[in-house]
Structure 1
């Protein structure tokens, strides 16, 4: 079965070696290494009582005492994303051998849902479908439902992202897949509207019951295709200067064509930090002015767009358009780290002061909003937050109605906002305004002190007003690799600016990883949630 309709899509590369080991015959062997749940011998109710108040209740199914009607196995987990689903009527299992053993015992397919705590469309699908009693009952009756936090199990995520991409041509989060009891995917997609999900699951269930042999054959064909990928990836090649130069040329062309093309207006816009960092490192070795110019312009475009938080600094994960105007509003640690490093490297190569300013704002956002007291860095900030009435919506913390702007700014300041920050009565996002800053991408930037001061005054006023809003929720999970990216960004920032605070923060974060994430016997932990490896 193939799904063609998806949201929040991204293209995924070939599967990793660990992923293909799963497909090629190790199968569920990985499951034996997964950690056992906490509170293993306690009832779900008692575990809930012990955790009550420590995680946000997102269910609408509450009794008269405002306690959740449903509690499922995810209440035993520490992941914020899994706890967000612990009170769904869907009787979720965590990723582990027990769930697959139950699927084999009952000869039921596995309904697998993968996401992360700050993903907007994950929240939408949870509200629309996993909180729906009819859909939940159908899933519970006909499937073994498993929830996975992709940040805890990136190898599992990569396996099924690649499988779903091969089945449907697209992949992203929330990732939806149906598996055989042995863990082989045979159907996949991403976000489904409720009616579509129920219809699809009916067809999948009927097909499993009536044509199970054909389903298993399709799953085996997919495994064979992944084996072919694995075989081709075994061919080792030497990376030499010509290959690096060829790659740099191709990436230059792609990045130059990815923005402002009439063919790309409806496509999502991702910053593509790894490619920019690759080009910057290549330019540092080759002293290539064209590469420096291309990356500098791309970074200025990003800084001027709505993907850049003009008021508080930092970057959202991506935009729904290719011109960086309307973002999905989650802020990921890896984005801040890589973007900060890219701006500092580009500043060192180009001498463009705007790049240094944006790099500073990005790193300062990181230090002020995502750093734990012990020096580590939290994984993400949610896309959603509450408005003044307590209603949760996407981008509420970051967007402004024209009335909200007018109540904070003078008439002259409103003129500045309209001219440089792209504000209007109509707005550009559900009647509100996602702020941009065209001045950052103009030839006049840093050439007109008066304009600089006026824009800074408006942004400062809005920053004070925004402090009165309820900020998005933080996922306080510590991810080792993302923290390493943040440390690298801070060291690069220190190299570019001589700011001792950056070096101090890098050392503090590195010490924290070494002391809490490293174990002499087990090595580095992938993640730490609630101080648990």
Structure 2
């Protein structure tokens, strides 16, 4: 494959050089993107480039006109996407060349992850790296033959000139290369059915985690590298593994990581919530965009960690993160917006990354007065906390007690002073130009946030979180869920236009099931099961036993992807595997458990060497190898007992309850009038019923 790629790679110009900025001309041009709802696409609606959205009719027109596709993929919070737009796509001469020689397609990767996955694989095969903006040139049928990420203006022009000449003068060569590349794109996504394998066992898992742990940063948390991404599913699994297998050293690594992330600049100490990642090893300077999917997953992770440790820092992080999401990303209809941009206007009216979030020493001295000295030590207004250009990013590295002792304060007085200072800074920050909001609503990201809210309610007990969760669940039910139990992917201003992908189904199924466990309202369980059955009908690949990313009812692309690697968001197949196993416990006759086992067998050969890339799958290994408890509660006090039990961290369990006999097999023929009984079961075989949550928890610990 590499030999066939070399003639194209000479056309790659990936140097991050600087070019003269093009003056913006307001609304001189309007293209087809004006009819879209994505904020990212609308940002490009007045470019002189004749952008189109990704639609079958656009590809059909390209084939009729025999023009190659120029596909540019990005997202609203992407810094380099904005840079390339200003340098290239707002330039009239560049636009003229693009319009004359290509059918130009703009894609919001967050709306169309199906297309993004394919072309990201293509660019990585072509150049060995990827990122956004992702620029692809493809045959009229969508098969790619060239790609690059950010390209400065002069190199962009040279690239397009050579590509145009190549396509016109040596089309046969281009077509052959595109065919070879497409074959490679398909080959790397194949998943074999490993039907004869044994399930990955606990000894193997111990070995995989031991190898994985060699990469841990024991002092600063996370991994020994920069940039540092939070990777919630990694620490979520390790929390599960450490508590289920009495691994104090791993629990300590989880705690070090969560503490350092919460202390770091990647966490917004003034307004709550996390940025996407840190560019350094100490979690200090973030890439300042704030994404819903990160904050939903991290709210869930910190809530679980609080249940295990009762560390008040974790509780504060959950509370402040949800407060941020509620304040900045909540729509009045109960849905959650996607993100806040990394860039905002500085005092000179120029877009600058982080301008909204950083502080100078002089500003802080003036605002905080006599409290500046203690604030300076608490948030490192010194060489440790300095970023660039005299700007500081707030970062902690000492516990409250150490700072309090140094300044001769009690810890409560210190906390009060810091809270007052942060409140003052928040009011001052509100006077600045806010980062741009991506106000599209995505189903899967809302599913992740819904799970975060459910976990926050479950482990912190705050009724407000359940109210928010129910409002969001009802929004998904009303606006995203169709009568046949298919879903929409996106929503904005009352309009939903794109069919959902597997990750949308997987996350909503997971969230609705979790919501059922804390409410015992069977509506959410029934919705989750109906969605699960829909995915089985329209997404399942019967040959491999895995689920495709796209439905069989959608327009076909050059590949029907199967997503298995757990990344910043867990793979849609790993979430589905966990969903299937849990539903097997409630509906054992449906065959869900067999599908989950087969899925695990198909991917487990990767666990030995790259466990961190399959972290969410590894929960399934624990489910399959260790006791998994079905907990059924029946009687007048079923909700009270349910809340008491669910407040305990029990990842290997499913909780179900009803006042009297319910529709689930576990809830049938077990009701006794005048009593509230808890049944702890494994595969339907139950211990003798008990009447208190404490006794139920004792049974779980002693179950043989």
Tell me if both proteins adopt one fold, taking TM over 0.5 as the criterion. yes
How many residue pairs get aligned? The number is 475
SS for the counterpart of 1:519 is coil
Partner of 1:27: none
| C-alpha distance in 1 between matches for 2:248 and 2:375 | 34
Q: Choose from 276, 287, 291 the match for 1:332.
A: 291
Match of 1:420 in 2: 378
Paired residues of 1:114 and 1:150 also in contact (CA < 8 A)? yes
- In the alignment, does 2:335 pair up with 1:376? yes
Quick one: structure 1 residues 199 and 424, their matched pair in 2 at CA, closer, same or farther if it must change by over 3 Å? farther
- Note if contact 1:331-1:381 (Cα within 8 Å) is conserved in structure 2: yes
Cα offset, 1:6, TM superposition: 7.4
Q: Does 1:519 align with 2:482?
A: yes
Distance 1:172 1:107 in 2: 28
CA distance in 1 between counterparts of 2:123 and 2:298 reads 29
Measure, in 2, the Cα distance between the counterparts of 1:415 and 1:373: 41
Matched, 1:155 2:114: yes
Query: After the TM superposition, which residues 263-342 of structure 1 pair with which residues of structure 2 at under 5 Å, given as runs?
Result: 264=225, 267-342=226-301
Distance 1:259 1:91, change over 3 A: farther
What is aligned with 1:226? 185
In 1, distance between residues paired with 2:323 and 2:474? 20
Pair 1:502–1:260, CA change in 2 (3 A): closer
Provide the C-alpha distance between the structure 2 equivalents of 1:523 and 1:504, rounded to a whole number of angstroms.
25
Query: Equivalent residue for 1:24?
Result: none
| Alignment match of 1:476 (pick from 439, 445, 457) | 439
Q: Which residue of 2 aligns with 1:55?
A: none
Aligned equivalents of 1:191, 1:338: Cα separation in 2: 29
CA contact (8 A) 1:384 1:395 kept: yes
Secondary structure of 2:73's match? strand
- TM-score of the two chains, using structure 2 as the length reference: 0.63
Q: Secondary structure at the match of 1:145?
A: strand
Q: TM-score, normalised by structure 1?
A: 0.82
Worse-superposed segment, 473-482 or 416-425:
416-425
- 1:338-417 aligned at under 5 Å gives the runs 338-410=297-369, 412-417=370-375
Change (3 A) 1:111 1:312: same
Structure of higher CA gyration radius: 2
1:254 pairs with one of 176, 200, 215: 215
Runs of 5+ unmatched residues, structure 2: 1-7, 17-21, 497-704
Whether 1:497 aligns to 2:460 is yes
Distance in 2, matches of 1:239 and 1:164, equals 35
- Does the 8 Å CA contact 1:113/1:177 hold for their aligned counterparts? yes
Cα distance in 1 for residues equivalent to 2:277 and 2:109: 18
- Structure 1 pair 445–379 and aligned structure 2 pair: CA distance change class (3 A): farther
The reply on whether 1:91 has 2:54 as its aligned counterpart is: no
Q: What is the distance in 1 between the residues matched to 2:198 and 2:14?
A: 40
Distance in 2 (CA, whole Å) between partners of 1:133 and 1:146 is: 17
What displacement does 1:495 show? 1.9
Contact 2:136/2:147 (8 A) holds in 1: yes
CA distance in 1, matches of 2:223, 2:467: 45
> What RMSD over aligned residues (CA atoms) do the two structures have, in Å?
2.7
- CA apart distance, 1:525: 1.0
Q: CA deviation at 1:335?
A: 0.5
| 1:459 aligned onto 2:418 | no
CA deviations over 1:29-65 (Å, ceiling 9, x no partner): xxxxxxxxxxxxxxxxxxxxxxxxxxxxxx9543xxx
| TM superposition shift of 1:244 | 4.4
Counterparts of residues 191-210 of structure 1 (less than 5 Å) = 191-210=150-169
Give the whole-Å Cα distance in 2 for the aligned partners of 1:293 and 1:355: 14
Q: Is the 8 A contact 1:74 1:83 kept in 2?
A: yes
- Give yes or no for contact 2:215–2:223 (8 Å, CA) kept in 1: no
Aligned counterpart, 2:89: 130
Question: For residues 45 and 234 of structure 2, what CA distance do their matches in structure 1 show?
Answer: 38
Residue 409 of structure 1 aligns to a residue in which SS? helix
* Secondary structure at 1:457 match in 2: helix
- Does residue 240 of structure 1 match 2:203? no
Cα distance in 2 between the residues matched to 1:60 and 1:442: 53
Equivalent position of 2:516 in the other structure: none
- Give me the whole-angstrom Cα distance separating, in 2, the residues matched to 1:485 and 1:408: 38
Aligned residues of 1:6 and 1:190 also touching (Cα < 8 A):
no
- In structure 2, do the counterparts of structure 1 residues 502 and 238 end up closer, same or farther at CA, with 3 Å as the change threshold? farther
Deviations 1:213-260 (A, max 9, x none): 222222222222233224444446554343544444444333437968
Contact 2:221 2:260 in 1 (8 A): no
Taking the aligned partners of 2:217 and 2:114, their CA distance within structure 1 comes to: 32
Find the counterpart in structure 2 of residue 51 from structure 1.
none
- Secondary structure of 2:376's counterpart equals helix
Separation in 1 of the partners of 2:172 and 2:368? 67
**8 Å contact kept, 2:77–2:438:** yes
SS of the residue corresponding to residue 330 of structure 2 reads coil
The 1:311–1:207 alpha-carbon spacing in structure 2 relative to 1, beyond 3 Å, is: same
Shift of 1:75: 0.7
Moved more, 417-426 or 170-179: 417-426
Which residue does the alignment assign to 1:116?
Answer: 75
Cα distance change of structure 1 residues 351 and 261 upon mapping to structure 2, 3 Å threshold: closer
SS at match of 1:495: helix
Q: CA deviation at 1:280?
A: 2.0
Q: Do the aligned partners of 1:300 and 1:440 also contact (CA within 8 Å) in 2?
A: no
1:284 deviation in Å? 3.9
